[in-house]
Amino acid sequence: MRPSPANRTWPEADTRIEVSIQEQALTLFKNEERQFSFPVSTGAKGIGFSEGSYQTPTGRFIIRERIGEGAPLHTSFKGRRPLGIGSPQSKDAILTRILWLEGLDEENSNTYRRYIYFHGTHEEDLIGRPASHGCIRLNNGDMLNLFDQVPLFTRVNIIK
């Protein structure tokens, strides 16, 4: 059993991500300098913390797992395992890479169990407006770029 995130301390990193739900945008900072911003798609059902809600949580997080390194662009994942490139297997297909979030605040401490990720999508035309099942979707090229820039334990803030 993993210890509660509230009981752990994480190394301070020079890299952090901020996601604005209102703006549907992700910004990457290194040494407090803005590196780039990408449009995203957060939960179609809004903000929330309950399992099964299909809502995007807010607060403080870390990147707990990085999945898909070296896989081709548009690789489809099911259960965090690569299936190959091809037709998506679900309405909320997970493509290209996965950055799995772990919540650091009491109200978002179930984020890891909820399988909330940054990931690429087969619905790139919906990027820029709420459309996901709670995850943070990016265009696949942007997801690849973000993945290559962030190490494990990168700090993430998701704000309204």
- Residue 11's pLDDT is what? 53
Nearest alpha-carbon partner for 43 in 139, 132, 118 = 132
In a domain, 55, yes or no: yes
Q: Between vectors from CA 76 to CA 149 and to CA 109, what angle results, nearest 5°?
A: 60
In a domain, 1, yes or no: no
| Residue 37: strand pairing partners | 27
pTM of the model: 0.91
Number of structural domains in the chain: 1
Label residues 6-34 b or e (16+ Cβ within 10 Å = b).
eeeeeeeeebbbbbbbeebebbbbeeeee
In a domain, 106, yes or no: yes
- Residue 13's pLDDT is what? 67
In a domain, 22, yes or no: yes
User: In the chain, which residues have pLDDT < 50?
Assistant: 1-4
In a domain, 147, yes or no: yes
- Residue 8's pLDDT is what? 55
- Residue 3's pLDDT is what? 44
How many separate helices (H) and strands (E) can be counted in the chain?
Answer: 1, 10
In a domain, 45, yes or no: yes
- Residue 89's pLDDT is what? 63
In a domain, 123, yes or no: yes
> What pairing do the DSSP bridges indicate for beta strands 155-159 and 136-138?
unpaired
Nearest alpha-carbon partner for 74 in 94, 59, 89, 49 = 94
Containing domain of residue 149, as a range? 14-159
* Rounded distance between C-alpha atoms, residue 71 and residue 77, angstroms: 10
Contact 41, 130 (CB under 8 A): yes
| CATH number for the domain that contains residue 144 | 2.40.440.10
In a domain, 3, yes or no: no
